[in-house]
Amino acid sequence: MIRPVLKDDAFLADVRAANLDDDDFRLWWLGQSGFLVQWKRSHLLLDPYLSDSLTKKYAATDKPHVRMTERIVDPARLDFIDVVTSSHNHTDHLDGETLIPLLKANPRIAMIAPAANRDFIANRLGVASSFPIGLRDGESAEAGPFRFTAVPAAHEELTPECLGYVVQFGRWSVYHSGDTLLYPGMAERLRPFNVDVALLPINGRAPERRVAGNLNGSEAAHLAKSIGARLVIPCHYEMFAFNTASPAEFIRVSTSIAQSYRVLRCGERWESREIS
């Protein structure tokens, strides 16, 4: 099993050490599509999956979710989170075993999610349907120091239940696509945001997996280039053995088209000073 670069006490110590009140920001890859963003002592969790709920759920089925990477941290220990997102209702993006202890540890936390999913979220997490800040395509909302704008995500079709988010704070713009394929007009929708960092899935689409597909490595590299992203970081791989991909093709294509990229290991910190 893949061991995170930093986990548990070491990971939390690294987050504390980086918690500066400056104009730069830091992020950590938490595995799958989960990221921790830190800016001016505020913390945003993007689509965290920090449990073994899917491995347990599918253990006795013909679609086992064998975990490839160890869990980075118990969500109950993340007691400093200001905002958390869910891009859609799939468990690796809306996990009760992650979010219920996270909400308990952070009584004042805000949640950003598709408006169409608010009742589903209320049922899964045991919260009021008014608790998530619900967004529709094109709508924006602020939570803490972060401004979120909803953009469509095709997983595999464009529906109100699946979104990506452009997150703006200070002089920075980060695009977290959620789970998505390419769709007509996607780059045109994103280009005006002047994205600094794009966080894109690379596990691709394979019908034999019997799950909704995503961008592959080549598509992620080309999308980042077409929207003018200053940097692209791949995600949604090395979590489940049946639904993963090597980042080799992403690296090859990014290099060939001169798209700046960074491949993170789970638990690794990235700092915006790399592109400042």
| Cα–Cα distance measured from residue 202 to residue 237, given in angstroms and rounded to the nearest whole number | 7
Confidence check: pLDDT of 166 > 80: yes
Q: Which of 48, 45, 10 is nearest to 27 (CA)?
A: 45
Confidence check: pLDDT of 115 > 90: yes
State percent of the chain over pLDDT 90.
94
Q: Which of 227, 218, 211 is nearest to 246 (CA)?
A: 218
Residue 84 neighbours by CB under 8 Å, 6+ apart? 44, 45, 46, 48, 99, 102, 109, 110, 111, 112
- pLDDT on residue 248: 98
Q: Residues 253-271: what's their mean pLDDT?
A: 98
Q: Residues 148-156: what's their mean pLDDT?
A: 96
Token look-up 């997983």 returns: 155
Confidence check: pLDDT of 62 > 90: no
- pLDDT on residue 209: 87
60 pLDDT band (50/70/90 cuts)?
Answer: confident
Confidence check: pLDDT of 276 > 80: no
Q: Is 116 exposed, middle or buried (0-12, 13-18, 19+ CB in 10 A)?
A: middle
Q: Residues 102-110: what's their mean pLDDT?
A: 98
67 pLDDT band (50/70/90 cuts)?
Answer: very high
CA 48 to chain centre: 7
Q: Is-above-0.95 flag for pTM?
A: yes
- pLDDT on residue 56: 94
Summarised one tens digit per residue, pLDDT across range 1-15 is 999 999 999 999 999
Radius of gyration of the CA atoms of the chain, in A: 17
- pLDDT on residue 212: 84
- pLDDT on residue 137: 97
- pLDDT on residue 159: 97
Summarised one tens digit per residue, pLDDT across range 193-244 is 999 999 999 999 888 888 888 999 999 999 999 999 999 999 999 999 888 9
Choice among 38-52, 172-186, 207-221 with the minimum mean pLDDT? 207-221
Choice among 26-40, 100-114, 151-165, 200-214 with the minimum mean pLDDT? 200-214
